[in-house]
Amino acid sequence: MRLVNRVLLATENRNKFDEFKALFHAFPEVNLLMANEILRNTDGLKFVERYDTYLENALAKARLVNQGAHYPSLADDSGLEVEGLGGKPGVRSHRYATPKAGLSQDEANVQLMLKELTGKPRNAKFVCTLALLVEGILVHATGTLDGTIAEAPRGTHGFGYDSIFIPNGSNKTLAEMTSAEKNAISHRNKALQLLMLQVRQHEITFAKP
């Protein structure tokens, strides 16, 4: 297997990249890069998330970047599943609400969720599925974080639904936590730990050529 320590993260979301970059501090043999640091055009990532499962969406993004750059490619698909909404928004978490003037997509999503949850169960879980393509080998893993949805947004850190998600065992939303506190328990961290176990089991080696 060709030795390389560069892994391209198939995302255009800088917040997500920064979070993964911090998580990869536990794996210093990997040099994580955003896909657009190698590829000139990553617009296709906006259009491949059209499937009904996290794994299919993650794999589609990883394949797109891997085919364009021929480096190991890592992609995630994450979502928030809420009991009172029948498990929605799930794989469509990022595109849950119709964008509104004056609101970011994240703000519109949070606003809609709080409105639709009135009088309904607020138990929820974050889900993250990771897919890694290396030299034709696919490894994947899923991590979850259980919690509840707050009555109103709290905190200024994080992104997405962090301001309304309270992990079980905590009285803080993810947006009220430091990055270190969030990363220690996050669904992305759990998925990454499981993924890297599989990397070792497949004897995939990351090293400078």
Dist. CA 194–CA 142, nearest whole Å: 8
1 inside domain: no
51 inside domain: yes
Reported as a pLDDT band with limits 50, 70 and 90, residue 58 is very high
206 inside domain: no
Please state the domain count of the chain. 1
Examine the pLDDT at 1 and tell me if it is beyond 60.
no
SS3 49: coil
Contact 81, 88 (CB under 8 A): yes
- pLDDT at residue 53 in the model: 97
CA distances from 92 to 25, 55, 89, 108, 152 (A): 29, 13, 5, 14, 21
CA distances from 62 to 7, 13, 52, 81, 191 (A): 11, 15, 16, 23, 16
58 inside domain: yes
- If one counts every other C-beta atom within 10 angstroms of the C-beta of residue 11, the result is 20
Tokens representing 156 are 């200024």
Examine the pLDDT at 97 and tell me if it is beyond 80.
yes
Dist. CA 141–CA 55, nearest whole Å: 9
56 inside domain: yes
Backbone angles phi, psi at 47, to 5 degrees: -115, -10
- Kindly state the average pLDDT of the residues 137-166: 97
- pLDDT at residue 2 in the model: 60
Report if pTM > 0.85: yes
Dist. CA 18–CA 9, nearest whole Å: 11
Dist. CA 206–CA 29, nearest whole Å: 6
Reported as half-sphere exposure (CB side, CA atoms, 13 A), residue 80 has a value of 26
185 inside domain: yes
What is the DSSP pairing of strand 73-82 with strand 123-134? Answer: antiparallel
Domain span at residue 134?
6-201
207 inside domain: no
- pLDDT at residue 209 in the model: 64
Reported as a pLDDT band with limits 50, 70 and 90, residue 46 is confident
Tokens representing 76 are 């995630």
Reported as a pLDDT band with limits 50, 70 and 90, residue 4 is confident
Contact 79, 91 (CB under 8 A): yes
- Kindly state the average pLDDT of the residues 1-20: 87
- Kindly state the average pLDDT of the residues 7-13: 93
Reported as a pLDDT band with limits 50, 70 and 90, residue 81 is very high
- Kindly state the average pLDDT of the residues 22-51: 89
- Kindly state the average pLDDT of the residues 74-93: 97
- pLDDT at residue 63 in the model: 94
14 inside domain: yes
Catalytic residues: 77
Examine the pLDDT at 179 and tell me if it is beyond 80.
yes
At 126, which CATH number? 3.90.950.10
